[in-house]
Amino acid sequence: MGDAKFVRTTISIIKADVGSLVGHHIVPEPLLEIGRQNLESAQQDGLINNFYVFNAGDDLELLMVHEKGEKNQEIHSLAWETFQSAAKKAKDLKLYGAGQDLIKNAFSGNVRGLGPGVAEMEIEERGSDPMIAFAADKTSAGAFNYPMYRIFADPMNTAGLVIDPAMFEGFKFEVLDTKENKKVVLKSPSEIHAIIGLLGSSSRYSISRIWRTKDNLLCAVTSTTKLSLIAGKYIGKDDPVAVVRAQHGLPAVGEVLVPFLHTYFV
């Protein structure tokens, strides 16, 4: 018999502001229902395994679990067509900001660069693999910088950085320069001062991915879309999303959540 083939699972969160009630407030039920109908149909067709449609303020959020990998054309096309349908409905209902985040019209296999925000991770699932999805509204792409630093680099928040052998070597942070479109990978704790120096400039630098140093296990991903850089002008906040894995050699769920007990201006 041949070697067993591990099935790799992909978690994708794709979001966009396609219209809301009473100014930039909340996604109305008709738009959420379009999202649920489209993703349920995709699940029945076998394209995705599971899904959850929700909103963060005026952003329509599509959370999908599938086996297609990151940046998959079918998955991104599903999200794009869903946003287009929801934007059309928003215009019919005369909602505020209908289609606001759909900056470009030419879909070429990937929604990156078209306006919607994307956070995706492809993983080999652990026996139990707790994950937490975060979605922010009315804030910049670097909004998750400080919480991610606290979760994966601050032993005063995450005790496992000191007492868990799986985390003792720390984590690697991929930091994106959103203006120059350049990336650098920095290790904590050995390069922690460089990490802090970049993350403090949250309007320019954003954490995009985090790995466990010991074995390169992918631990967290965030969206880094800067709408103003795509549109060439200010059209609204970036409203990022993120996915974080927890437990069993990673920060506990409580340690992932604690940094969000405090509020920040970002």
Q: State the DSSP string of 122-152.
A: EEEPPSS--EEEEE--SS-GGGGHHHHHHHH
Mean pLDDT of 163-192: 93
Segment 158-183 mean pLDDT: 93
Q: How many CA atoms lie within 13 A of 38 on its CB side?
A: 24
Residues with catalytic roles: 17, 234, 237
User: Residue ranges per domain, the chain?
Assistant: 1-125, 128-266
Q: What is the mean pLDDT of the chain?
A: 88
**What architecture (CATH level 2) is domain 1-125?**
2-Layer Sandwich (3.30)
Predicted confidence (pLDDT) at residue 68 exceeds the cutoff of 80: yes
Assess whether pLDDT exceeds 50 at residue 250. yes
Residue 112 or residue 5, greater confidence: 112
If we measure between CA atoms, which residue out of 80, 75, 121, 71 comes closest to residue 101?
80
Residue 266 pLDDT: 55
> Cβ(142)–Cβ(199) under 8 Å?
yes
pLDDT at 144: 92
Percent of the chain scored above 90 by pLDDT? 67
pLDDT tens digit sequence for 209-247: 999 999 999 999 998 764 444 444 444 557 899 999 999
Average pLDDT over residues 97-102: 80
pLDDT digit string, tens, across residues 19-53: 899 878 899 999 999 999 999 999 999 999 999 99
pLDDT at position 229? 47
What pLDDT score was predicted for residue 235? Answer: 44
Q: Yes or no: say if 239 and 57 are a contact pair by the CB < 8 Å rule.
A: yes
pLDDT given at position 232? 47
Q: Please give the model's pTM, rounded to 2 decimal places.
A: 0.89
pLDDT at residue 180, rounded to an integer? 85
Task: Answer yes or no: are the C-beta atoms of 235 and 103 closer than 8 Å.
Answer: yes
Q: Provide the pLDDT confidence category of residue 73 given band limits of 50, 70 and 90.
A: very high
Return the pLDDT at 76: 94
- In the predicted model, what is the mean pLDDT of residues 51-74? 95
